[in-house]
Every structure is written in structure tokens, then in C-alpha cells.
């Protein structure tokens, strides 16, 4: 029984599912690992590091997949790629269930058990397997760096012989995992940071990072579901939030937006009229761009300029820091594998709570239809 690590095939994906240190731990535990030649190359992990970790290097994707009983990936395979899997294999990956309708029938046809990492429930014992959190941490950090590099200003206060420079004002809208990391990063770079989130628990977290919490009147007690995620706001609530944020945005130099509602398009929180009232030269980095964006006019994968404000439609931020993003992803995956690995079966055997959440196909059938809606 072998765990396989094919090279990612999605455009511009630089990450790899397992890094050499996790491979070494698997091999030490008696699990054989096969890695496609060059799989870790764009994440700065050469074949030699995998070979030193005890993996076998396969020369092609076809050879890797033909030898893999468990396939580990960052992004979901294409239908053609899935057709090269061993019948009955287990796939562990981010699968974006709602966007996987083309590949799910292939998994079912070939009796592939597809496990969707983004469905790992946010419960304490699964925290170490939570790839959404680890990859959001990278995204929050990188968003600040991208914003800072596009700004015509310093982030920190400077005292120079030529006079003083005031610190930039940064605002983080949506202070979940990515948002909190963005706050911490902007603070470290010396900006004056404020933030807003609809979930009441966030206020204290924001303040503990040294940022101020704005528009506290727009927090709603029922904003959080039992999974820890935000619920969609009503039209009236959204308007109220918008009105409270409009004035605040006028003073900002850098805005990072991260607001998401699982399974729904991202809420539009910054309108064109609000952008028009912002300071010329200011920058908005929209981390929700791939799910529709929090900012009106944002285009995923592009930087557009509106009213003198740059709006960055951030796309796969984690992939832009492939070495550390892969290292974290890989540790999440290792923790998942080691929690559930069954030595006799040579495959993960999941408990009911996590299994029911993450399994998309089993025994030749698409299960968990609820998640696909
Ligand atoms: P996310 O990416 O779904 O959303 C980002 C943030 O946007 C959230 O904080 C959300 O409240 C906020 N948001 C949504 N709509 C908004 C609006 N209209 N206005 C302002 N903000 C809005 O969420 P996430 O960062 O992946 O996680 C959210 C929370 O889940 C975490 O902060 C944490 O409390 C919890 N969590 C728990 C675990 C665990 O226990 N294992 C792990 C990770 C996260």
C-alpha cells in the first residue's frame, strides 16, 4: 500500500500536498510514499529531499497514480487525471465540492473514495488538520505585503531628518483566520490598525492584537453559526453595516477584506460609492475575490483602479508562498493521516463525525449530496 504525491496540475498552483518532512515521518511509521518527479519543485522541495526522506520518485503522473492507493493533492484533479487513479483508491485533497460536479461521477465510476479537506469540521480535535485555517494564515499575511508594496506610502511612522511621516491606517474587514493574521502583520509593520467583523467573539480577539474594533453597533448576537462561521446578514443589517463603515473607510490607506459565508457568494460590503470617497492612492486587497469579492468592481486575479484606489482581486494567495503554505498543508495532512491510519487496511478509516463530513464519494456512489447544493 502506498501514498502518492502527484505534481499539481491546476494552472499556477505551486504548492505540493506533502513536504519532505511529513514524508519522512510517514516512511518512519512504515508507510511507503511515491512522489512524482518534480512534484515539490515549485515549492522549493527538490526530488533529492523526497528521496532522502525515503520516498520513491516516479517519473510521471501516470506512474505515480498507478502506484498510489491513497492519493494526496492540494487541488482537485481534473476528470482526466481522476481516470488515471487506481480503481478503489482514496483521494485526500481540497475538492471544492460545489464546483466538482464534473469529477465526482468519475470518482464514483472508479470507486474512488474522495475526502474533501475543506469539510473537516471545525472542532477542537480536528484543529491540527484544518487546511482552511493554515492556508488562510498565509493569505492574511501575504495580503498585507501585497497591499504595502502597492501603496505610495510607508506603513510605519518615521522620524527622519527631513521631518516625520505619519503611520498608515489599515482596516481589516472580516477578522477570521486570515483577517487576524492580516491585523498582526500590519501591526508588526507599524500601521495603525482597525477591524470589523459581524461575529461578537471577534471583538476581543481584534483588541488583543492591538487593533481597534470599529462599528461595534453592527455586531449581531446571532451572526455566528454553531460551526464558528458567520451567517449571511439580512439586507437591512448589511445596509446598517455599510453606513457605519462608509465614514471609516474615508480615512484608510490600506483595506484588507476577507468576509466569507460558507457555501454562499461573498457579501458585497464596499460599494463603488464608498471606494469613490476613499483617499486617492489607497489600496484594497480583496481576499474574498474568488468567491465573488467583498468590493464592488473587484476582479479575481487582477488589480483594477477605481477613483484612484487600487483594488486587488487576490487569487490563491497561499500558492504565492508555496514553501511555507505547503509545509503547513502537509502537516495538516499528516495529522489527518496519522489520526485515522489503519495499518491493516493501509488506508485512513475515519470516525463517523469526520467521515460523514468529508466523504464525497464511497463505494461507487456520490454521497453527501447536501454538501453539493
Ligand atoms: P471565513 O473565511 O468563512 O470568513 C472570514 C470572516 O469574515 C469571518 O470571521 C466572518 O465572521 C467574517 N464575515 C462574514 N460576513 C461578514 C460581514 N458581512 N461583515 C463582516 N465580516 C463578515 O471564516 P474563517 O476565517 O475561516 O473562520 C471563521 C471562524 O471559525 C474563526 O475565526 C474561528 O472562530 C472559527 N474557527 C474554528 C476552528 C476550530 O475550532 N477548529 C478552526 C478555524 C476557525
pLDDT per residue as tens digits for the range 77-90: 999 999 999 999 99
Percent of the chain with pLDDT over 70: 98
Report how far Cα 155 is from the mean position of its chain's Cα atoms.
Answer: 25
pLDDT per residue as tens digits for the range 191-223: 999 999 999 889 999 999 999 999 877 777 777
Q: From the CB of 261, is ligand 1 less than 6 Å away?
A: yes
Smallest CA separation from ligand 1 atom 15, residue = 259
Among 158, 169, 165, residue whose Cα is nearest residue 191:
169
For residue 354, give the 3-state DSSP assignment: helix
Catalytic residues: 122, 127, 130, 133, 229
Radius of gyration of the chain (CA): 22
Can you tell me the mean pLDDT for 127-138?
Answer: 97
Smallest CA separation from ligand 1 atom 32, residue = 176
Distance 23 CA to ligand 1 centre (A): 31
Angle between helices 322-340 and 131-150 (to 10 degrees): 170
CA separation for the pair 54, 211 (Å, rounded): 46
* Nearest ligand 1 atom to alpha carbon 127: 41
Q: From the CB of 347, is ligand 1 less than 6 Å away?
A: no
Per-residue pLDDT at 311 exceeds 50: yes
pLDDT, position 68: 97
Q: From the CB of 127, is ligand 1 less than 6 Å away?
A: yes
Per-residue pLDDT at 132 exceeds 90: yes
Q: Average per-residue pLDDT in the chain?
A: 94
pLDDT, position 264: 84
Per-residue pLDDT at 13 exceeds 90: yes
pTM exceeds cut of 0.85: yes
Among 283, 18, 298, 321, residue whose Cα is nearest residue 181:
321
pLDDT, position 185: 98
pLDDT, position 372: 52
Distance 323 CA to ligand 1 centre (A): 25
CA separation for the pair 267, 233 (Å, rounded): 8
Q: Which residues contact 139 (CB under 8 A, 6 or more apart)?
A: 178, 181, 258, 287, 314, 317, 318
Per-residue pLDDT at 373 exceeds 60: no
Q: From the CB of 135, is ligand 1 less than 6 Å away?
A: no
pLDDT, position 228: 73
Asked whether 106 and 81 are in contact (CB, 8 A), the reply is no
Q: Which of 200, 230, 285 to mutate to test the pocket of ligand 1 (most atoms within 8 A of CB)?
A: 230
pLDDT, position 343: 86
Tell me the DSSP string of 115-182: EEGGGS---GGGGGG-HHHHHHHHHHHHHHHHHHHH-SS-SS-EEETTEEEPPPEEEEES-SHHHHHH
Per-residue pLDDT at 278 exceeds 50: yes
* Selection from 195-199, 225-229, 236-240 with the highest mean pLDDT: 195-199
- Classify 69 in phi/psi space as left (phi over 0), alpha (psi -120 to 50) or beta: alpha
Pairing of strands 163-165, 158-160: antiparallel
pLDDT per residue as tens digits for the range 151-187: 999 999 999 999 999 999 999 999 999 999 999 999 9
CA separation for the pair 4, 81 (Å, rounded): 13
Low-confidence winner among 19-23, 57-61, 105-109, 223-227 (lowest mean pLDDT):
223-227
pLDDT per residue as tens digits for the range 320-349: 999 999 999 999 999 999 999 988 888 889
Q: Which of 135, 137, 139, 174 to mutate to test the pocket of ligand 1 (most atoms within 8 A of CB)?
A: 174
Q: From the CB of 176, is ligand 1 less than 6 Å away?
A: yes
Amino acid at each position: 500500500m502506498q501514498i502518492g504525491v502527484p505534481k499539481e496540475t491546476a494552472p499556477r498552483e505551486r504548492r505540493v500536498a506533502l513536504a519532505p518532512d511529513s514524508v519522512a515521518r510517514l516512511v518512519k511509521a512504515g508507510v511507503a510514499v511515491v512522489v512524482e518527479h518534480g512534484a515539490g519543485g515549485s515549492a522549493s522541495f527538490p526530488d533529492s529531499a523526497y528521496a532522502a526522506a525515503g520516498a520513491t520518485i516516479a517519473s510521471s503522473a501516470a506512474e505515480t497514480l498507478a502506484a498510489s492507493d491513497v492519493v494526496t493533492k492540494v487541488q482537485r484533479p481534473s476528470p482526466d487525471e481522476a481516470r488515471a487513479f487506481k480503481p478503489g483508491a482514496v483521494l485526500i485533497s481540497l475538492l471544492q465540492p460545489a464546483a466538482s460536479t464534473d469529477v465526482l461521477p468519475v470518482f464514483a465510476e472508479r470507486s474512488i473514495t474522495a475526502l474533501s479537506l475543506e469539510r473537516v469540521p471545525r472542532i477542537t480535535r480536528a484543529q491540527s488538520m484544518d487546511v482552511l485555517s493554515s492556508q488562510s494564515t498565509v493569505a492574511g499575511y501575504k495580503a498585507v505585503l501585497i497591499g504595502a508594496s502597492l501603496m505610495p506610502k510607508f506603513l510605519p511612522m518615521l522620524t527622519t531628518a527631513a521631518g516625520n511621516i505619519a503611520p498608515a491606517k489599515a482596516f481589516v474587514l472580516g477578522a477570521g483566520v486570515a483577517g487576524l493574521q492580516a491585523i498582526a502583520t500590519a501591526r508588526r509593520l507599524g500601521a495603525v490598525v482597525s477591524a470589523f467583523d459581524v461575529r461578537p467573539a471577534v471583538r476581543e480577539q481584534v483588541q488583543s492584537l492591538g487593533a481597534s474594533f470599529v462599528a461595534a453597533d453592527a455586531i449581531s448576537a446571532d451572526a455566528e453559526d454553531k460551526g464558528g462561521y458567520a451567517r449571511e446578514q439580512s439586507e437591512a443589517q448589511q445596509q446598517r453595516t455599510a453606513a457605519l463603515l462608509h465614514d471609516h473607510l474615508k480615512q484608510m490607506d490600506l483595506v484588507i477584506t476577507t468576509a466569507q459565508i460558507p457555501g454562499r457568494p461573498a457579501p458585497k460590503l464596499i460599494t463603488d460609492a464608498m471606494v469613490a470617497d476613499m483617499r486617492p492612492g489607497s489600496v484594497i486587497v480583496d481576499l474574498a475575490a474568488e468567491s465573488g469579492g467583498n468590493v464592488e468592481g473587484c476582479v479575481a486575479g487582477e488589480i483594477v483602479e477605481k477613483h484612484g484606489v487600487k483594488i486587488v482581486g487576490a487569487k490563491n494567495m497561499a500558492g504565492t508562498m508555496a514553501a511555507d503554505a505547503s509545509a503547513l498543508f502537509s502537516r495538516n495532512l499528516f495529522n489527518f493521516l496519522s489520526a485515522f491510519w489503519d495499518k491493516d487496511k493501509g488506508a485512513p478509516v475515519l470516525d463517523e463525525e469526520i467521515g460523514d463530513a468529508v466523504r464525497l464519494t464511497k463505494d461507487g456512489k456520490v454521497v453527501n449530496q447536501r454538501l453539493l447544493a
